[in-house]
Structure 1
Amino acid sequence: MSSALTDLCRYPIVQAPMAGGPSCPQLAASVADAGGLGFLAAGYKTADGMYQEIKQVRGLTGQPFGVNLFMPQQKLADPGALEVYRHQLAGEATWYETPLGDTDACGDDGYEAKLAILLEDPVPVVSFTFGCPSRDTLDAFAAAGTYTVVTVTSPEEAQAAQWAGADAVCAQGTEAGGHRSTFRDDPETDGGGTGLLSLVTQVRETVQIPVIAAGGLMRGAQIAAVLAAGADAAQLGTAFLVCPESGAHLLHKQALTNPLFVRTTLTRAFSGRPARGLVNRFVREHGPYAPAAYPQVHHMTSPLRKAAARAGDAQGMALWAGQGHRMARELPVGRLVRLLVEELDAARTAVSARSTQ
């Protein structure tokens, strides 16, 4: 790992910031204590809610951790397409006995307020999703002593992040669970993304700053592979979802290894932005009709997803998961990190042995 990342975590393992509940203070602190880099997800939270979680992590661990922010999105949604999708979901609202959410009140996720808190009371690491901050913002974090990471999905985005002053990039392959982190959601030009190994290699050849690899990683041998491809560390999300410290809903955890949920797909059904999750009834019935409208669709479906969870109906929930979800291991964070490190060391030894034969 690069020296800066070495100062942040003992092992080249980063816990992905998973918005919506999974990346809770207990998970982030447990990963940090185990020698990885834990992350809080500030997305969908108020600025004060984010600050309260930061205080909780500080009370649980003295190790470095990070906070992830969603970049504000341009409101380019077609009102007509949103209204058509609202009619499409009318049956769901009736079934779950809940009204659809309001799409007119969509804001910027409290971005400026969150920036102010993180600059006033700095945390070790701040990462950004759905875009790249301005140079002034990244320079302000540098002055505050905060390490910054921008999530990218192409070498062009990685180069833009380096030019803006980011300390590192997180290269997200198409295998990753949850939302694709493209700077701009363009259905006409985004064909679903690039596989992680190819993406890491392209990004490594484009930028000189550290690269964190993310996308479907579940085993230590896969970590070894992305490190060999040029990454400085590996980011895992789905692998930590089933840990007892994770804040993911129990139905979400159970679905990851349930034989009823065999595959994942990229869908706009729940949020209006491409996101990889387990294929369930909601995805099959509504995915083909969901418009490119984030975060409007996210807010529209929010009451439905909450009602489905209350009803114990995983078929109506957003079950975000990477392509390696069937390899999830229900272990405490400390044991999982130790196992990943053991597998990483074993993979390195095996490759070394084969190269000398």
Structure 2
Amino acid sequence: MASPLDVLGVDNPVLAAPMAGGPSTPALVVAAARANGLGFLAGGYKTADALAEQITEVRGHGITFGVNLFAPNPLPVDPEAFRRYAAAIAPEAWAYEIDVRATEIVEDDDHWQDKIDLLLSEPVPVVSFTFAVPDAAVIASLRAAGTLVVQTVTSPAEARLATDAGVDVLVVQASAAGGHSGTLTPEHVPASVPLTDLLARIRAAVSLPLVAAGGLATPAEVAEALRTGAEAVMVGTVLLRADEAGTSLPYRAALADPARRRTVVTRAFTGRPARALANRFTDDYSDLAPSGYPALHHLTRPMRQAAAAAGDPERINLWAGTGYHHATAEPAAQILRRLASHA
């Protein structure tokens, strides 16, 4: 089977991961391409129209690129648990004159069908999915349109499911990854398995090309993942301070703050397991947060947006993988080329 990099005409095996909520910008995607690699626009939390604007901007540069979508995999929240949690975090939101106690439960699908329709009517080179494996008919339609289809998996069982659905490539995401886990069973926190072990287990289960992800932040770690059976790797956290990233100022500062020394897996911000730099919000509310995505995401989002605008790092989701201390403030192309230097 041909390597996905060969199919796409990409030389650099270090790909720029999609990071929803702002960090992944068209400029970051273009920078990845300029480093002979591949970047992904993050379609999560965007309308189809907003995503279409970014696709048009990137397409204008004549580069190969990808688009990532959150495939619907609802984790409905218990209404009573939701109300208890809203009451618990109410003082945090009230600091910005936001009253979350009357917030309605929102269980949406992130404009799923509109975005699939967009990607079928205006095909892009690569589409990746996270949170769920789409229906096989959706995958087949995208492939028929000339799109390479990629699926995030966190276990051999998920890898087999995605393979049976007809995807082309698997992103193998280890628990060290920053941001949301791509687990298909978000009611459970995935086991902590080293990336190289997870790659070996999934390589034994399926024959599709693998892209390694999760905690990769140095040239040596990249080289080890490639030796373990991955055709490429995908990095996100190490790009958060890059010049082209859309990371907020307090988020950038927190990544560079030597006083922040640990990451935690928390549901406190979105109701779905996600790895973040520990802050006061994760310390105070991780044990109280119920499962419930996207309901908790919508509940806390206004507070998080206000806190980011105010420069407050203690009430925002500081998504970060375990290699966060390697994130540097420099052009993304330099970061990506350096990571590939031992490949």
TM-score normalised over the length of structure 2: 0.96
Give the corresponding residue for 1:118: 119
Equivalence for 2:247: 248
Deviations, residues 322-349 of structure 1 (Å, cap 9, x unaligned):
000011122201222222222x24xxxx
The separation in 2 between residues aligned to 1:191 and 1:134, in whole angstroms, is: 23
Cα distance, 1:91–1:226 mapped onto 2, change above 3 Å = same
Offset, 1:294: 0.6
> Is the CA contact 1:102–1:300 (under 8 Å) kept in the aligned structure 2?
yes
Identify, as 1 or 2, the structure richer in helix. 1
- Classify the secondary structure of the residue corresponding to 2:172: strand
SS at match of 2:211: strand
The change in CA–CA distance for 1:103 and 1:17 in structure 2 (over 3 A counts) is farther
Q: Cα distance, 1:137 vs. partner? A: 0.7
SS at match of 1:150: strand
CA distance in 2 between partners of 1:325 and 1:291 (Å): 27
* Partner of residue 178, structure 1: 179
Which position in structure 2 is the counterpart of 1:48?
49
Seen in structure 2, the aligned counterparts of structure 1 residues 5 and 178 have a Cα distance that, compared at 3 Å, is same
Q: CA deviation at 1:71?
A: 1.0
Question: Secondary structure of the equivalent of 1:288?
Answer: coil
**What is the alpha-carbon distance in structure 2 between the residues aligned to residue 149 and residue 137 of structure 1?**
12
Which residue of 1 is the match for residue 78 of structure 2? 78
Is 1:192–1:266's contact at 8 Å kept on the other side of the alignment? no
Q: Secondary structure at the match of 2:116?
A: helix
* 2:340 match: 341
Q: Which residue of 2 aligns with 1:352?
A: none
Deviation of 1:260 (Å): 2.0
The amino acid across from 2:83 in the alignment is E
Q: So what's the TM-score if we normalise by structure 1?
A: 0.93
Counterpart-to-counterpart distance in 2, 1:329 and 1:229: 26
**Structure 2 equivalent of residue 314 of structure 1:** 313
Note the C-alpha offset of 1:2: 4.1
Alpha carbons of structure 1 residues 88 and 38: separation in structure 2 relative to 1, 3 Å: same
Q: Which amino acid letter does the alignment assign opposite residue 154 of structure 1?
A: S
Report if the CA contact (8 A) 1:153-1:194 is conserved: no
Does the 8 Å CA contact 2:20/2:43 hold for their aligned counterparts?
yes
Paired letter, 1:288? D
Residue pairs, 1:152-167, within 5 angstroms: 152-167=153-168
Q: Please give the secondary structure, in 2, of the residue aligned with 1:68.
A: strand
**Using a 3 Å threshold, how does the CA distance of structure 1 residues 126 and 332 change in structure 2: closer, same or farther?**
same
Q: Which residue of 2 aligns with 1:351?
A: none
> C-alpha displacement at 1:292, in angstroms?
0.5
How big is the shift at 1:191? 4.6
Amino acid at match of 1:35: N
Alignment match, 2:67 = 67
Q: Equivalent residue of 2:286, what SS? A: helix
Distance 1:237 1:329 in 2: 12
Distance 1:334 1:191 in 2: 32
RMSD: 1.4
- Give me the whole-angstrom Cα distance separating, in 1, the residues matched to 2:18 and 2:70: 11
SS in structure 1 of the partner of residue 175 of structure 2: coil
The answer (yes or no) to whether the contact 1:212–1:235 under 8 Å persists in 2 is: yes
State the one-letter code of the partner of 1:84.
R
Q: How does 1:184-199 map to 2 (within 5 A)?
A: 184-187=185-188, 190-199=189-198
User: What is the Cα deviation at residue 103 of structure 1?
Assistant: 4.2
Q: Aligned residue for 2:297?
A: 298
Unaligned runs of 5+ in 2: none
Aligned-partner SS, 1:212: strand
Per the alignment, residue 276 of structure 2 pairs with 277
Superposed CA offset, 1:182-236 (max 9, x none): 112123xx45442211111111111111000000101111111011111110000
Give the Cα separation in 2 of the matches to 1:74 and 1:223: 33
What is the aligned-residue identity percentage?
A: 44
Secondary structure of residue in 2 paired with 1:205 = helix
Q: How many residues align?
A: 341
Q: Matched residue of 1:265: which SS?
A: strand
Where structure 1 has 5 or more consecutive residues not aligned to the other structure, the ranges are: 346-357
Q: Structure 1 residues 202 and 6, CA, compared in 2 at 3 Å: closer, same or farther?
A: same
SS at match of 1:289: coil
